[in-house]
Chain A
Amino acid sequence: MRREPSRRPWMPAFFLPAAAVFALAAPAASQPLAEAGAEQIAHGKRIYEIHCARCHGLDGVGGEGPNLMRENLRRSTQDDALIEIVDIGIPGTDMPAHGSLNTQEIRNVAAYVRSLGVAPREDLPGDPGRGRDLYEMTMCSTCHIVNGEGIALGPDLSDIGLLRGSAHLRESIQDPPKAVNPRYRTVLVEDARGAIVMGVRTGEDTFSIQLIDEAGRHRSFRKSQVRDWKLLPEESMMMSYADFTEEELDDLVAYLATLRGPEGDPE
């Protein structure tokens, strides 16, 4: 629905009833999306799952539509722009206008989308400094990059504190299959000569598969030209650190929660 700007330069004073309604709605309308309440966000999430998840993925991980789990959405750094996109879509692209949503529903969806990129700051019990030491001691960096350091087998964790909440981070460490993006599957290939290659899948189509092997090298195989290949069960996707103590786990999660992008946290 296209809203034309009012052609009247001023609101007539006698137009009181409408003005009064406007005044009632005003606090919610001027509230920054980032300050939306949990109930609003939960409501927005529900609408999102119906109208948006098909292209943007559940939890905003992206699909045919862009990933929304980022602090700065390219087309909508301002709340107004985000609300407008939810409302009228992006003309000239495949981003459609919403269904039959009312103004508050549109705001709630926008608030939910805003919340996707900014995990709420939590009071965490652990010590981030000790967590950092633990991160380095346990060789996390042999699979992950943080601020440019490490090896890129798994996802870059430089802004994981923005993208994920502590519960998700904790679960990812304790029980990887439940929380880890299925894109990072481990592949086992027996090549044409019988050599075994293991690595993390970086690409796949019907005829070929690409991976980063244990030495960090890019490898590519034609499925029809290897003796065998398979995706390992998700349980073996990565090492589970279930033997951490509760305290160590708290520390590690506290450290990961501080990772909010290369520029750190604009406090």
Chain B
Amino acid sequence: MTIRPMAATVLLTALAAAPALAQVPYDRIRDAAAEPEVWVTYSGNYRSERFTRLDQINPENVHRLRPAWIYQTGTVGRVEVTPLVADGVMYIAEPPSTIAALDAHTGRRLWRYDPLIADETLNIGFPRTNRGVAILGETLFFGTLDAQLIALDRAQGDLRWKTPVADNAVGYAITAAPLAVDGKIIVGISGGEAGVRGFLDAYDPATGERLWRWWSIPAEGEPGNDTWGGDSWKTGGGATWLTGSFDPELGLLYWPIGNPAPDWNGDSRPGDNLYTDSLVALDVETGEMKWHFQYTPHDVHDWDANQIPVLVDAEWDGEPRKLVILANRNAFYYVLDRETGQFLRATQYATQTWAEGIDENGRPIRIPGTSPSEEGTLVWPSLAGATNWYSPAYDPDRMSLFVPTREMSSIYFKSEAEYVPGTPFLGGGERRPDAEETYGAVRALDALSGEMKWEFRQLSPAVSGVLATAGGVVISGTQEGNLFALDADTGEALWDFYVGGGVRAAPMSFSLDGQQFISVAAGQSIFTFALAPAAEAGAGDAP
């Protein structure tokens, strides 16, 4: 059959006149919790809960979870993306900076956009990967390894615009998913190990015009610059390489800030080195900083604060309070007031040997002799920290934060550091102790007290993010390639599946036609799971 010209005209006219059903306006992201069928921002919602209200999959039936489809990127390198799903289409990022749209029903690829990253593009201190896209209206936004921000039409992957964010030749890059808010695309950068000066940017989604820039290290004459020595602030790191959170009512962005540079030799940067290793609250309209809280002043272990800040509303001392919680790389779990930045509580959640505790202002009480040295200093946690960028999940019903945890130490070395643009600016290094028992765990922390409710131990330190579900299961993975489901109340393992490649990303969930799916990147592929019908699940399965 051929479509006659007349009929084609009618079809096109009908398409043009149709309401923009396939749009993801700001309101839809803001209200993401009310529409669990889709996953329209990196951490699931602006509170960064990574919690789905879908409850079809539960402890009783999770053993019937089976692969629905598998998409192979065909690339080399790490796939570390959290997919987004809207209106039946999944959007993923493949290494190093390629974006693909998949049919969420089948995994079949609809289109792919490759910005052609040159081989000599620098990635100093992180893999050549991309952790996700943002969506707003009919447009997708993503950063590239060579530090551009690109906008694509989401129907066919056509280029809308691209804009340079920073200079890759000195080490800037983008691996984090941008955050789309009302009329702005918020973008953070990587490059702390190259001694860049960090910043956070906001761009106009329509034009790519930059609306504001907030520098993570204050310039001369600005408050906080006196926490650096000499010109060290110019090469001080403070990258913004993980997607932050947003409170629409307060109009505040909550962004975690990276480590100071050089990482392991702090001699050239005497002082606290603000705002490295901090959480900052920025006015979304202007980029002006409202408050900051520094977890690790004058860090010399590369314990950046690039972990997901989760926004929680709860009663604190009998009063309703707006909180922001974060399990930090430095082995302490923190509760802050997110209106003021006031420190409320810190609790140790993993083995550490560097601090006697946290004082009443939230400042660590350091144990002497724990800095890196020429001969090497053994300290817990390890360089990769007690946790890292891998997303935790927050279950608001149980008030539990499920934290991917690493039990491991490092021997930290210190050496000379000379800043040469576009090269690593480290001042030392790390190695593992010879014979050491390391392990990983998903730990369920009480959101208010930070006390551990349960842990599920893994063979190796965690590298995977976590998803929590209203059905009461918690999903995560291992570096050996296991994907597993735990009971959210007890931590008991209920299901596992070997995906054949390390799970170095965080799972997410969506639903289509009444069926709940769970997707995760692992190895070089995207795996999507759903419940098999009870009859097909096999007679050998537990009831």
Q: Give residues in A with beta carbon < 8 Å to B.
A: 1-2, 49-51, 53-54, 58, 91-94, 96-100, 182, 204-208, 224
Among A51, A93, A182, A205, contact of B478 (Cβ-Cβ < 8 Å): A205
Q: Which residues in B have their C-beta under 8 angstroms from that of A100? A: 416-420, 423-426
Q: Are B478 and A206 in contact (CB under 8 A)?
A: yes
B123 within 8 A of A: yes
Q: Which residues in B have their C-beta under 8 angstroms from that of A92? A: 119, 128
B277 within 8 A of A: no
Distance in Å: Cβ of B427 to nearest Cβ of chain A: 8
Among B423, B460, B484, B496, contact of A1 (Cβ-Cβ < 8 Å): B423
Q: Are B459 and A205 in contact (CB under 8 A)?
A: yes
Known: A53-B429, A58-B431. 20 other contacts (CB 8 A): A1-B422, A49-B413, A50-B413, A53-B432, A54-B383, A91-B119, A91-B121, A94-B77, A94-B123, A96-B124, A96-B125, A100-B417, A100-B418, A100-B420, A100-B423, A100-B424, A100-B426, A205-B481, A206-B460, A207-B493
Q: Are A53 and B431 in contact (CB under 8 A)?
A: yes
Among A50, A97, A207, contact of B431 (Cβ-Cβ < 8 Å): A50
**CB within 8 Å for A2 and B120 given contacts A54-B431, A94-B128, A205-B480:** yes
Q: Are B478 and A50 in contact (CB under 8 A)?
A: no
A93→B122 CA distance, assembly (Å): 10
A79→B217 CA distance, assembly (Å): 42
Per-position binary interface string of chain B over residues 104-130, scored 1 when its CB falls under 8 Å from any chain A CB and 0 otherwise: 000000000000000111111101100
Among B383, B431, B457, contact of A49 (Cβ-Cβ < 8 Å): B431
**CB within 8 Å for A97 and B424 given contacts A2-B120, A51-B429:** yes
Q: Are A58 and B124 in contact (CB under 8 A)?
A: no
| Dominant secondary structure at the A interface | loop
Q: Are B119 and A97 in contact (CB under 8 A)?
A: no
B482 within 8 A of A: yes
Q: Which residues in B have their C-beta under 8 angstroms from that of A50? A: 413, 415, 428-431
B435 within 8 A of A: yes
Closest residue on chain B to residue A53 by CB atoms: B431
Closest residue on chain B to residue A1 by CB atoms: B423
A51→B193 CA distance, assembly (Å): 13
Q: Are B496 and A207 in contact (CB under 8 A)?
A: yes
Among B125, B383, B434, contact of A58 (Cβ-Cβ < 8 Å): B434
Q: Which residues in A have their C-beta under 8 angstroms from that of B78? A: 94
Q: Which 4 A-B pairs have the closest CB atoms?
A: A50-B429, A205-B480, A91-B119, A53-B431
B243 within 8 A of A: no
Q: Are B424 and A224 in contact (CB under 8 A)?
A: no
A207→B459 CA distance, assembly (Å): 9
Q: Which residues in A have their C-beta under 8 angstroms from that of B429? A: 49-51, 53-54, 99
B216 within 8 A of A: no
Distance in Å: Cβ of A138 to nearest Cβ of chain B: 27
A-B residue pairs in contact (CB < 8 Å), sample of 24: A1-B420, A1-B422, A49-B431, A50-B415, A51-B426, A53-B429, A54-B383, A54-B429, A91-B119, A91-B121, A94-B123, A96-B424, A97-B424, A99-B425, A100-B423, A204-B459, A205-B459, A205-B481, A205-B498, A206-B458, A206-B484, A207-B482, A207-B498, A208-B498
Q: Are B459 and A206 in contact (CB under 8 A)?
A: yes
Q: Which residues in A have their C-beta under 8 angstroms from that of B415? A: 50, 99
Distance in Å: Cβ of B430 to nearest Cβ of chain A: 6
Per-position binary interface string of chain B over residues 447-467, scored 1 when its CB falls under 8 Å from any chain A CB and 0 otherwise: 000000000011110000000
A204→B460 CA distance, assembly (Å): 10
Distance in Å: Cβ of A187 to nearest Cβ of chain B: 13
A100→B459 CA distance, assembly (Å): 35
Query: 8 Å CB contacts to A: which residues of B225-259?
Result: none
Distance in Å: Cβ of B380 to nearest Cβ of chain A: 16
Residue of A49, A100, A204, A206 with most partner-chain B CB within 10 A: A206
